[in-house]
Amino acid sequence: MVALYVAYPHLGRLEAEVQRVASGILQNLGLLFVPAGVGVMLHLGLVEQWWVALLVAIGASTVLGMAAAAGAFVWVQKLRGRP
Amino acid sequence: MNEATAPLLRLWVYLGASPLLWLSVTVCAFVAAARVQRGLRGTPWANPVLLSVLLLLALLLGTGTPYERYFEGAQFVHFLLGMATVSLAVPLRRHWDAVKAALPAMSAALVVGNLAGSVSAMAILAWFQAPVPVVLSIAPKSVTAPVAMGISEKIGGLPPLTAVLVVSNGIFGAIVATPLLNLLRLRDPAGRGFAVGIAAHGIGTARAFQLNETAGTFAGIGMAASTLVASVLVPVLARWFGAAP
């Protein structure tokens, strides 16, 4: 990653090509998580027993975590006088 | 067996035994799911990860294929993880000035976001009186799967359960990100992306890259930095939780 970061401005003609490949990979990042997600079938019993608690915990904590991160980001940007 | 179907059957026997079958099915399922989402004008509810996981679950349970057999093929997807990490260099270079300007805000968001996510998740499960290993399994839920599984093992959680929670967290985060951040009136794509990367790791980052390259870049940085923060923070939280009555 560091090598590509350093080399990127010097790629010349290749630059557009590299960018196309890189953004293609990054836009389809979700594919990487499909096998881990299918792994739910290994724990169907545990998930079945605790699904309400797990659902509430994942839902609430994701919203809280995202809102807290966004709030802290905005707050510090404002403190530093940026829009 | 008639003449016409015999070669087909032979082909199936060959493919069925080969790890490439489940790799191809995984890729096809994802491509199809991404098409469905595009067909629905990109609505976040039709998350391609969620749709392809459901499709594959139905296929595996329907054909009685054990997960181990599936994973023999699907694990090759993980080779792409290295390429994806390297690819992050391109947007990072293109948006470096914006990244530099936002460093203090990013540090604050990292600590606050990780803390709020892990503590609330553990507190809710403890309130439901879930067993201790289940509570510990959810603590690293907002970092990317391989790292989260490592942390989970270290603190006494169940790594495969953590993987499932990580993916559910990511899918849910990717779905709620747009409406939630709109509700919070956060318009800066850098801040939006960063919050999504912290709270919903790679699946959120994938979603952010679909929408906006700046948001995607910041999500990628948020995801990467979050793994570092969580590796330090989560074991401390787990120790506190273990010490509490």
User: Is B96 found in the same domain as B78?
Assistant: no
- In the DSSP assignment, the letter for residue A11 is -
Contact, B155 vs B139, CB < 8 A?
Answer: yes
- Full 3-state SS string of A12-55: CCHHHHHHHHHHHHHHCHHHHHHHHHHHHHHHHHHHHHHHHHHH
Q: What value does the mean pLDDT of chain A take?
A: 81
In a domain, B179, yes or no: yes
Q: How many domains does chain B have?
A: 2
User: Is B73 found in the same domain as B53?
Assistant: yes
pTM of the model: 0.80
Contact, A50 vs B134, CB < 8 A?
Answer: yes
The one-letter amino acid at B180: L
In a domain, B176, yes or no: yes
Among B86, B105, B130, the domain boundary falls at: B86
Contact, B160 vs A53, CB < 8 A?
Answer: no
Q: Would you say residue A52 has pLDDT above 80?
A: yes
Place of tokens 């839902």: A59
**Alpha carbon distance B76, B58 (integer Å):** 21
User: Is B107 found in the same domain as B187?
Assistant: yes
Note whether B101 contacts A66, CB cutoff 8 Å.
no
Residues of chain B positioned with their CB less than 8 A from the CB of A70 = 109, 181, 184, 186, 191-192, 195
Note whether A57 contacts B142, CB cutoff 8 Å.
no
Task: List the end-to-end C-alpha distance of chain B, in Å, as a whole number.
Answer: 67
C-alpha count within 13 angstroms, C-beta hemisphere, residue B77: 25
User: Is B131 found in the same domain as B12?
Assistant: no
Note whether A35 contacts B78, CB cutoff 8 Å.
yes
User: Is B148 found in the same domain as B173?
Assistant: yes
Q: What's the complex ipTM?
A: 0.79
Among B65, B86, B107, the domain boundary falls at: B86
Which structural domain range is residue B36 located in? 6-86
Distance from CA of A33 to the nearest CA of B (A): 7
Note whether B161 contacts A46, CB cutoff 8 Å.
yes
Three-state DSSP class for residue B88 = coil
Contact, B26 vs B45, CB < 8 A?
Answer: no
pLDDT for res B233: 93
Place of tokens 């559910």: B168
In a domain, B75, yes or no: yes
User: Is B126 found in the same domain as B111?
Assistant: yes
User: Is B114 found in the same domain as B18?
Assistant: no
In a domain, B1, yes or no: no
User: Is B108 found in the same domain as B63?
Assistant: no
In a domain, B113, yes or no: yes
**pLDDT tens digits in sequence order for chain B, 245 residues long:** 455 666 666 666 666 566 788 888 898 999 999 899 889 888 888 888 889 989 999 998 888 888 888 888 887 777 776 677 777 777 788 888 888 889 999 999 999 999 999 999 999 999 999 999 999 999 999 888 878 888 998 999 988 889 889 989 999 999 999 999 999 999 899 999 999 999 998 889 988 988 888 899 999 889 888 888 898 999 999 998 876 54
User: Is B223 found in the same domain as B180?
Assistant: yes
User: Is B178 found in the same domain as B99?
Assistant: yes
Q: What is the largest CA-CA distance in chain A?
A: 57
User: Is B109 found in the same domain as B80?
Assistant: no
Contact, A28 vs B34, CB < 8 A?
Answer: yes
Window from A26-35, A62-71, B224-233 with minimum mean pLDDT: A26-35
User: Is B185 found in the same domain as B144?
Assistant: yes
Among B49, B138, B143, B164, most A C-beta atoms within 10 A, so best to mutate, is B164
In a domain, B245, yes or no: no
Note whether B89 contacts A1, CB cutoff 8 Å.
yes
In a domain, B116, yes or no: yes
Tell me the residue length of chain A.
83
Among B26, B52, B86, the domain boundary falls at: B86
Q: Name the residue among A36, A41, A64 with its Cβ closest to that of B116.
A: A64
Q: Name the residue among B84, B113, B172 with its Cβ closest to that of A69.
A: B113
